[in-house]
Structure 1
Amino acid sequence: MFFSVVIPTYNRKPILEKCLQALEQQQFDAGEIAGYEVVVVDDGSTDGTVDWLQTNASEFPHVRLFQQDHQGPAAARNLGVEKASGDTIIFIDSDLVVTEGFLQAHADGLQSGQRSAVSSQQPLETQNSAPPTPHPISSPVFTYGRVINTANFDDPTAEPYKITDFSAAYFATGNVAIARIWLEKAGLFDTRFQLYGWEDLELGVRLKQLGLTLIKCPDAVGYHWHPPFALSQLPNLIDKEIERGKMGVLFYQKHPTWNVRMMIQMTWIHRVLWGVLSIGGRLNERTMAPFLQWLIDRGKPQLSLEVARIFLNWYNVQGVYEAYAEMQSER
């Protein structure tokens, strides 16, 4: 198989450098992996990302750079798939730093999943014979690697796995490998998801409808870097929650199921839960700022962020219902 690692990026030059350096250090079995490329799609960055990549192209021989006006990650990933040369696509984010065995781990996971899928389809009398060699793109499987969150910019891969890093997502583009034929059959990403959130999980619903099986691949590790939490980040985080609410309603409009309602927090359960915990929005970025800063000053920025999620989730639920009411009024 030949891998195309598709990375959309927008104003993340410092961590993108570490991301691409890690991808240049890959160690793999050439008998299983024919090769790989790194398809970077710049989504209209204004921080000098394109100039930096063009100036330092010799340091990243596997990188192919493409550009688009700022349209969001869904459109950027679609462009990356369109330009990719590989039969197998790996999606990661541009703030993810991987280990040197990353590609090999995904290859092993895909091969194992494909063998299992082929064996399960064999008649009983043939299952004890030599296992068939699966075609690299024939079986409906994909791998989902482990994502470990870290605020350690200098040495992101030093962060241990934490219970808060667990993800129950079916298809999330932070670290996933899939044959491009299944992406094309599903119709790629819906480019109407131009704001923050849900474009990958929505595609996951369509992939599940095609019968694809998720193969967990914990050895394909990526370290998701984000700066330590500070109060100055709150306005942007609040905006993202409101945007996520709006995109959640688009998700539900396409797939009006209870499962999607639960995912996007558009249920009375979430409305009551976050309404009670935030005291109807009275616990917010203003009233809780002193306590959040107190936690930060004591070296607990992650705990401060988790506490802030009380009112961030309330903003998200409010955004969902406001967007849903607007959608209903337009009918």
Structure 2
Amino acid sequence: MFLSVVIPTYNRKPILEKCLRAMERQTFADYEIVVVDDGSTDGTVEWLQSHAAEFPHVRLFCQNHGGAAGARNYGVEQAKGDTIVFIDSDLVVTDVFLQSHVETLIQGQKELGHDRLFTYGRVINTANFDDPTSEPYKLTDFSAAYFATGNVAIARHWLIEAGLFDTGFKQYGWEDLELGVRLKNLRLKLIKCPEAVGYHWHPAFSLDQIPRLIDVEFQRGRMGVVFYQKHPTFDVKMMIQMTWIHRVLWGVLSIGGLLNEKTLTPVMRSLIQQGKPQLAEQVARIFLNWYNVKAVYAAYAQSQK
């Protein structure tokens, strides 16, 4: 088994350095790292080119900025491996990361008698840039996703058969879960691989992130409708929050939008000052989810005109 680790990246140079250094320390030997730069403007390409000797497993490819879906497709097309491992460029993994995926894939194939499966590792969120792998697993790190590209390994031919990622997802969100629906239709089995741990770094929550987070929710809402138009099922409706349940839930919790980024700022600021940015971020989810639900319904109404 030869692995191709496909990593799309866009303006993530500081954390990408940690990501690649961790990937170079793997106990498993038979792999390459396919980095696809999606038009970065922060010196990522120049840094990789000047430090090529430090990253013998890395093969660098570049494209104009077009989004993660196209970057991952490009990486799969250029990959030499029979097995693809997807991670994000802000993920720092342990030394046994690839070995864990390989062992679980082999065991799964033995038990099932075929390779109609993929492995899904554990992702732990952290704001600790200096030592990301010191973060413990938390309840909020749990994911019920069937296929998510933050930490997954799959035979390359299944991706080709499924049709790769849909590049129609031009904005944030859902392109990996949409591919997951097509993989599920091919009857691929998800096998959890908690030993393959990746630490997903993002800066600690702060008030100046709020405008970008709101924009992300509106993008996610619009792309959610694209997802639903491709797969008009109740399961997808639940995923994208386009049900009366979500409308009532977040409408009530936000008091119809009265609890928003303005009215909740004093609470969030106080929590941040107390050293509780994660709790402040959970408070922000009240209005962020309400904005997402509104965006979904607005985009769906627009699509019906």
Give 1:266-277 correspondences, 5 Å limit: 266-277=242-253
For residues 263-302 of structure 1, what are the structure 2 equivalents within 5 Å? 263-302=239-278
1:186-231 CA distance string (max 9 Å, x none): 0000000110000000000000000100010000000000000000
Q: Deviations over 1:245-289 (max 9, x none)?
A: 000000000000000000000001101110111111111111111
Q: 1:40 — aligned with what?
A: 35
User: SS at the partner of 1:200?
Assistant: helix
In structure 1, how many angstroms separate the alpha carbons of the residues matched to 2:279 and 2:261? 15
Is the contact made by 2:119 and 2:153 (CA closer than 8 Å) also made in structure 1? yes
SS at match of 2:164: coil
TM-score between both structures, scaled by the size of structure 1: 0.91
Match of 1:7 in 2: 7
1:131 matched residue in structure 2: none
CA distance in 2, matches of 1:47, 1:242: 26
The reply on whether 1:208 has 2:203 as its aligned counterpart is no
Measured after TM superposition, the shift of residue 234 of structure 1 is 0.3
Cα distance in structure 2, aligned partners of 1:164 and 1:312: 16
Matching of residue 258 in structure 1 with residue 234 in structure 2:
yes
Q: Distance in 2 between matches of 1:323 and 1:7?
A: 30
- What is the deviation of 1:139? 1.5
Aligned AA for 2:7?
I
Runs ≥4 residues deviating over 3 A? none
Of the three residues 120, 124, 128, the one matched with 1:152 is 128
**2:64 paired residue among 69, 80, 88:** 69
Which amino acid in structure 1 is aligned with residue 143 of structure 2? S
**Could you say which residue in structure 2 is the equivalent of 1:114?**
109
Deviations 1:308-327 (A, max 9, x none): 00000001001101110110
SS, match of residue 84 in structure 2 = strand
Classify the secondary structure of the residue corresponding to 1:325. Answer: helix
The separation in 1 between residues aligned to 2:214 and 2:91, in whole angstroms, is 23
Which residue of 1 is the match for residue 25 of structure 2?
Answer: 25
Write the distance in 2 (CA, Å) between the matches of 1:328 and 1:156: 45
Secondary structure in structure 2 of the residue aligned to 1:256: coil
Give the whole-Å Cα distance in 2 for the aligned partners of 1:238 and 1:285.
Answer: 9
8 Å contact 2:115–2:155 — kept in the other structure? no
CA distance in 1, matches of 2:36, 2:264: 39
- Paired AA for residue 284 in structure 1: N
Distance 2:109 2:260 in 1: 49
Give the partner amino acid of 1:113.
Answer: G
- Checking the alignment, whether the CA contact within 8 Å between 2:4 and 2:80 is kept in structure 1 is yes
Residue aligned with 2:70, SS: helix
- Tell me, in whole angstroms, the C-alpha distance in 1 between the residues paired with 2:303 and 2:65: 25
Query: What runs of 5+ residues in structure 2 fail to find an aligned partner?
Result: none
Choose the corresponding residue for 2:100, options 98, 102, 105.
Answer: 105
Deviations 1:145-198 (A, max 9, x none): 000000000000000111111111100000000000000000000000110000
Query: Quick one: distance in 2 between partners of 1:205 and 1:229?
Result: 32
Deviation at 1:290, TM superposition (A): 1.1
Q: Which has the larger radius of gyration?
A: 1
Describe the SS at the equivalent of 2:304.
helix
Query: What SS does the corresponding residue of 1:263 show, helix, strand or coil?
Result: helix
Q: How many residues align?
A: 305
Aligned counterpart, 1:125? none
**Which amino acid is the alignment partner of residue 290 of structure 1?**
P
Percent identity over paired residues: 74
- Where does structure 1 lack aligned partners over 5 or more consecutive residues? 119-137
For residues 163 and 270 of structure 1, the distance between their equivalents in structure 2, rounded to whole angstroms, comes to: 21
Where in structure 2 are the equivalents of 1:131-280 lying within 5 Å?
138-280=114-256
Secondary structure of 1:153's aligned partner: coil
Q: After TM superposition, give the deviation of residue 242 of structure 1 in Å.
A: 0.4
Counterparts of 1:89-104 in structure 2 under 5 Å?
89-104=84-99
Q: RMSD of aligned C-alpha atoms?
A: 0.7
Find the counterpart in structure 2 of residue 51 from structure 1.
46
Q: How much does 1:65 deviate? A: 0.6
Which one of 308, 318, 323 corresponds to residue 284 of structure 2? 308
User: Partner amino acid for 1:102?
Assistant: F
Secondary structure at the counterpart of residue 19 of structure 2: helix
Question: Counterpart in 1 of 2:16?
Answer: 16
CA drift of 1:38 comes to 0.3
- 1:15-46 alpha-carbon deviations (Å, 9 max, x no partner): 00000000000012x6xxxx100000011111
